[in-house]
Structure 1
Amino acid sequence: MNAGLSLTPRAPKIRLAQHPIARGLAAAREVLPSGAAIAHIPALSSCLLPSEKGRRCDWCHHLQSESVTLRRCSRCAAFWYCDNTCQDRDWKARHKKICRNYNAFIASSQYQALTAHDQVDALLLSHLVTEPAAWDGKQQHHDLDNPISALWDLLKLPRADGLVPPLCLSKSVQTAETLKLAEELYARFGNNNFVLHSHLNSYGHGIFPYASRLFNHSCVPNAACKYVITPTEPVVMEVVSLYQIAEGEEITLPYLDPALPYQTRQEALRANYDFQCTCRLCTFQRGIEPVPAPALRGTAELKEVDAAIRSFALGDISQEVRIPMTPGLFERLPAELYPIFHESYLPSLSEQFSKTSHEGPYADAVEAGLTLLAFYVVIYPPNYPQIGMHALELTKTLWNLLCAEPDALAGPTEDQLMRHTKSAVDFAASVLRNYGPEGDDGGPLEEIRVLTELLSSQ
């Protein structure tokens, strides 16, 4: 890696180190406990998905609510803000560059032909090419505290389809030089921007060059990123440790969902990032390819597999739901359970849980939900946020069963069901409190508080 690369004070717990294959790695300067805030990184630029326009402030991403009524830009009537502060800051930083052209741009055939995510990228790119500092293509001082410099320091990786999104700028400024700059910039950020989410629901895209430059990918990551929404301020990425990280250990993030099938992950990583992943999960799954297909859902054979994966990952669930804290649980999986890695297993199981948790019978939903929780515990590392989110949904299903169908499960008494429900909410709380508050107010942590109070009163 480049020896001149400096480290921003926004991440004092990280040091840069050599990597045998990649350009470098972010290593822990000290032992980082579970739930530690590793880095705080403001967005260089961000944009809402089209579906979120009018629901969130275009500057700080605050969600409209009873206490926040968004106001529109009087010029384009297409951008919304919490108040004058947000509108003034967005105008000075970026909106004045695209306001006059925005409505004609989004109505154009070029824009309409793009996917929703590429439409967001088109606006992000339009912001970037009008940044004076972006024109200095030689500004590669390898200073990660300068976001534009960090952006230029990213490797160029043009999209396989050759797409460079159109620009939301007047035709007079779209010179050959401007379009060349757009191509250069997009080759650096197009595969490096981040999907912004609140309570794990996507709402926009953000450019965080510092994070892109520092953190390598793993399907068994030891950290995850969340997004902090603060009124009147740009969104900030916070990188959080999932479990204790040793001094000198590389800090990694997932570039995609580790629960995706092995071949799907590899194809996506090659197409978007031009590398083959050799993490523990990929190495293990490559070694068991081709994965045998599971039996059809509903058959006795698959029910046995479901019961076995629950027992393997969660232990004796008749007592409590325990939290395995060792990453790489999949490496100890018995061979007869390998069909859970087949591309058909997770979708069919998720569909069964979704259908029965809404429509009943709740007893079937609990069984599917526990199996899904076991699958997540096997695939994801400890404290991965999706585990906590699913444990919360499972808690709600158990609560519904307790309230509506207390005699539906063969075997457990009402007291046992109550213990199961309390165990599930404690599991969810442990994982999601480790991840910490993020995104919009309320959400899963507030739901956990309410459920805990309800269960305590029983």
Structure 2
Amino acid sequence: MTADSMENVELFSSEGKGRGLKAVKEFCAGDVIFAEPAYAAVVFDSLTAHVCHNCFKRQEKLQRCGQCKFAHYCDRTCQKDAWTNHKNECSSIKKNGKIPNENIRLAARIMWRIEREGTGLTEGCLVSIDDLQNHVDNFGEEEKKELMADVQTFTDFWPPSSQQFGMQYISHIFGVINCNGFTLSDQRGLQAVGVGIFPNLCLVNHDCWPNCTVIVNNGNHEAVKSMFHTQMRIELRSLGKVDKGEELSVSYVDFLNLREERKQQLKRQYYFDCTCEHCTKGLKEDLMLGVKEESKVPCNVPLTKLPSSQGVAKEVIQFSKETMEKISKARSEGAYHEVVKLCRECLKKQEPVLADTNIYMLKILSLTSEVLSYLQNFEEAAEYARRMVEGYLKLYHSNNAQLGMAVMRAGVTHWHAGLIEVGHSMICKAYAILLVTHGPTHPITKDLEAMRVQTEMELRMFKENEFVYHKMREAALKNQPMHIMPEPRNNSISSSIFHKKQ
């Protein structure tokens, strides 16, 4: 990180939240407030052979470290850049003959860096690793047992020739990882691939309706490469106008949950009670639990004997929760036709009762659209995607990254369905959002720009002659279809900004 990147922010004591960061000048939507390389980062255990251990890009073919046979890299440049962080790890893996899990590997990388540089402030950092919150005192009995197990495994892996640390300090490092480990994504932001520690990011407090967002930039353009070589970094970007002196905030959890669920998750994972305006006042809660007017609920819906629409809604919501558990099991088994069947049955119960912004209906609409797209049933998938997007637009912040990604997928689904007008409109909408949240040089934004240009050209052709357009489109699809999405597995980016040990 360049020194001037931190001149945009100032460390201060945030009332009721401890330390925080505030802007020292005004920012506009999409501005990069600061960028930060990882203090230490590792690839998830399940992806060590598929993701570069230096830049965290997912690649089909990677070069393996010739010594430990564990670490994988894009090329010799990435391997050379990574050697400082991998050198001790490489030696320990060879000596131990086994590879510890991601939590142990990350703790070891942090401590090897401390061994090299000391515990003080590193260049560009406003806080040291020692001063980060660990919340070990807030751990429950089960968490303490897991902590002790990690500490023991770490001491078995840690070489006797390296600097030795006390049990209390090792516990501190694991506590820091537990509540401050940031989830890393691949180069297009579509899959969680690792976890890292970013000290400055740890100072940015939570708000369910934040003024900033965080994205991973894997060194995808020349300006980044010259500054960070091929290493990955995070960027804190403003979602709208941020005034001078205003506290910077990000959302640690997905907003598209009821406030009690958000508060419980924040308490369980980050050990604080959320007092943001949306939680205090329950803003948008009425939309998330919306039901149709009682007069519009058909009296012949065989769901309950209760006369009120609220009573019916409770049963439908409970049915939805039970169905989502069945869907999760079917997805894990790859039974996608069963997933579609369950979704259709659930929507049949929901549609007469729940409003189009009810989060339980939106979750089913999202699942249905995703799986139908994978099964190439694009016309039906597009209709569900359209309804999902209409609901999302009423709930999410207008520049929310998850909203942008959802609109993008819906736009591509409409394109595959031959609905070029709606598809182009959605792709343009998604592009406008991701320009703010990801910036113009991020790979996913570049992909969207290419889609926008293509669909704009097709839309002109469609308006000139629909018959010719559909014939040309049919021929083009046989050769090179527009990318839609991978197999719908549970491997997407976590809804939490920070990574919690599973």
Interval containing the TM-score (normalised by the shorter chain): 0.7 to 0.9
CA distance in 2, matches of 1:378, 1:257: 15
Higher helix share: 2
Alignment match of 2:130 (pick from 136, 139, 152): 152
Does structure 2 conserve the Cα–Cα contact (< 8 Å) formed by 1:243 and 1:382?
no
| 1:217 Cα deviation after fit | 0.7
**Residue of 130, 133, 143 corresponding to 2:112:** 130
Distance 1:103 1:440 in 2: 38
2:211 aligned to which of 206, 222, 230: 222
For the Cα contact (< 8 Å) 1:389–1:444, is it kept in 2?
no
Kept in 2: contact 1:433–1:445 (CA 8 A): no
Q: 351-360 or 282-291: which moved more?
A: 282-291
Q: Secondary structure at the match of 2:274?
A: coil
Identity %: 20
Query: Is 1:98 the equivalent of 2:89?
Result: yes
Which residue pairs with 2:255 in the alignment?
258
Q: Is the 8 A contact 2:182 2:197 kept in 1?
A: yes
Counterpart of 1:347 in structure 2 is: 363
Q: Match of 2:351, as an amino acid?
A: L
- Opposite residue 76 of structure 1, the aligned amino acid is C
Which residue number corresponds to residue 209 of structure 1? 199
Alignment of 1:42-191 (within 5 A): 42-64=37-59, 70-91=62-83, 93-102=84-93, 107=98, 111=100, 119-133=101-115, 139=120, 145=123, 147=125, 149-158=127-136, 159-160=139-140, 161-162=143-144, 163-164=146-147, 165=150, 166-167=153-154, 169-170=157-158, 172=160, 177-191=165-179
Residues 403-447 of structure 1: CA deviation (Å, up to 9, x unaligned): xxxxxxxxxxxxxx5432222111111111222233689644444
2:324 matches 1:293:
no
Is the contact between residue 115 and residue 163 of structure 2 (CA under 8 Å) also seen in structure 1? no
Q: Match of 1:101, as an amino acid?
A: S
Q: Note if 1:281 corresponds to 2:302.
A: no
Deviation at 1:154, TM superposition (A): 1.4
Provide the aligned length of Structure 1 versus Structure 2.
387
Rounded to whole Å, the distance in 2 between the matches of 1:154 and 1:298 is 46
Deviations 1:267-315 (A, max 9, x none): 2211221101122332344996995537463348625745x54xxxxxx
Which is further off, 158-167 or 432-441? 432-441
1:363-415 deviation per Cα after TM superposition (whole angstroms, max 9, x unaligned): 4423321222133223321211111111111112222222xxxxxxxxxxxxx
Q: Counterparts of 1:394 and 1:128 in 2: how far apart (Å)?
A: 41
Tell me by how many angstroms 1:175 deviates: 9.0
CA separation of 1:136 and 1:40: change in aligned 2, threshold 3 A: closer
Secondary structure of 1:15's aligned partner: strand
Q: Who is 2:423 aligned against?
A: 421
Unaligned runs of 5+ in 1: 1-6, 112-118, 310-339, 403-416
Alpha carbons 1:151, 1:210 under 8 Å: kept: no
Query: Contact 1:56 / 1:63 at 8 angstroms: preserved in 2?
Result: yes
Q: Distance in 2 between matches of 1:345 and 1:293?
A: 13
Q: Which string of whole-angstrom CA distances, capped at 9 and with x for unpartnered residues, describes residues 63-87 of structure 1? A: 436xxx5322111111122333332
In the alignment, structure 1 residue 238 sits paired with structure 2 residue 216: no
Q: Shift of the alpha carbon at 1:8?
A: 5.9
**C-alpha distance in 2, partners of 1:78/1:58?**
10
How big is the shift at 1:451?
Answer: 3.7
Q: Is structure 2 residue 396 aligned with structure 1 residue 380?
A: yes
| CA gap 1:124/1:450 in 2 versus in 1, 3 angstroms | farther
Counterpart of 1:400 (choices 416, 434, 445) is 416
8 Å CA contact 1:388, 1:432 repeated in 2:
yes
Unmatched tracts of structure 2, length 5 or more: 220-224, 290-312, 321-345, 463-502
Which letter maps to 1:128?
I
Match of 2:459 in 1: 455
**How do 1:3-42 and structure 2 match up within 5 A?**
9-42=4-37
Q: Judge conservation of contact 1:151–1:189 (CA < 8 Å) in 2.
A: no
How many angstroms apart in 1 are the aligned matches of 2:45 and 2:95? 15
Question: What's the TM-score once normalised by structure 2's chain length?
Answer: 0.68
What CA distance in whole angstroms lies between the structure 2 residues aligned with 1:129 and 1:144? Answer: 14
| Equivalent-residue separation in structure 2 for 1:262 and 1:188 (angstroms) | 26
Superposition deviation, residue 17 in structure 1: 3.6
Shift of 1:25: 2.7
